[in-house]
A = this chain, B = another copy of it.
C-alpha cells in the first residue's frame, strides 16, 4: 500500500493546498505537524534546499513546493482531476498558480510585519487583488466553469486574508473597493464542498489571533 506522509502546519495555506488535493483524491495520509522554531530532522533531510513546509513523502520519496506537490498528486492518484484537461486551460491555471505563488506572500507580510515594510506589503496586496478583481469580472472561477488548480492556489486570498483582517482588526478589503473579488471570496468560503477542505474558520481565527498583534494594542 502506498505510504503518504505530509509534513506541514495545519494553519498554513501552503499545507492546505496539499491537504485539499489529497482529500479530493481520497488518498489516506499521515499528517505530521511541524515546529518551524525547531525544525525536525525529517523536514531538514526531506527539503534540504528550502527547509520549508509542506513536504509530501510518497513511498519514502520527498516532494517539495505546494503547487508542485498538487500537480504530482493530480498525476499520481486516481480521482477527480485538479488541473483541466485542455493544454490551454492548463496553461492558464498554471499562470494563476504562479501569480499567487509570487504575489500571495504579501498577505502574510501585511499582518506580521510592522512599519514601512507592512505598508509596502499592504500596497502589494491591494495591487494583487485589483488584478484578481478585474479578472473575475465576468467569471465564477479562474479557468472555465470549474473550480480547480488556480482556485486552490488562491486559498490564502479566499480565506486567510479575511481571517487575518478579523484577527488583527485591520481591514484591507471592502466590497466597495473590490466587488468581484469579494463576491468570489464569499462564494468560495461558503461553498459546502470547499468547507470540507478548508480549516475551520473559528479554529484558524483563534490560531491567527494569537499570532497577530491586535490593532491598537501597545507596541
Residue numbers of A with Cβ under 8 A of B are: 49, 58, 61, 63-65, 67-69, 71-72, 75-76, 87-88, 90-92, 94-95, 98-99, 101, 131
Contacts and interface: CB of A to CB of B under 8 A. Distances in A.
- The A interface is mostly helix, strand or loop, or mixed, namely helix
A63 B91 contact: yes
Given A99-B49, A131-B49, A87 B65 contact: no
Contact of A94 (B65, B87, B95, B99): B65
Contact of A68 (B61, B64, B69, B91): B91
Given A63-B92, A68-B91, A71-B90, 10 more contacts: A49-B131, A58-B88, A65-B95, A65-B98, A68-B98, A69-B91, A71-B94, A72-B88, A72-B90, A75-B87
B61 A95 contact: no
Contacts of A95: 63-65, 68
Nearest to A92: B63
Contacts of A58: 88
A217 B165 CA distance: 51
Contacts of A72: 87-88, 90-91
A69 B90 CA distance: 10
A206 B22 CA distance: 51
A174 to B, nearest CB: 23
A71 B95 CA distance: 11
A101 B90 CA distance: 19
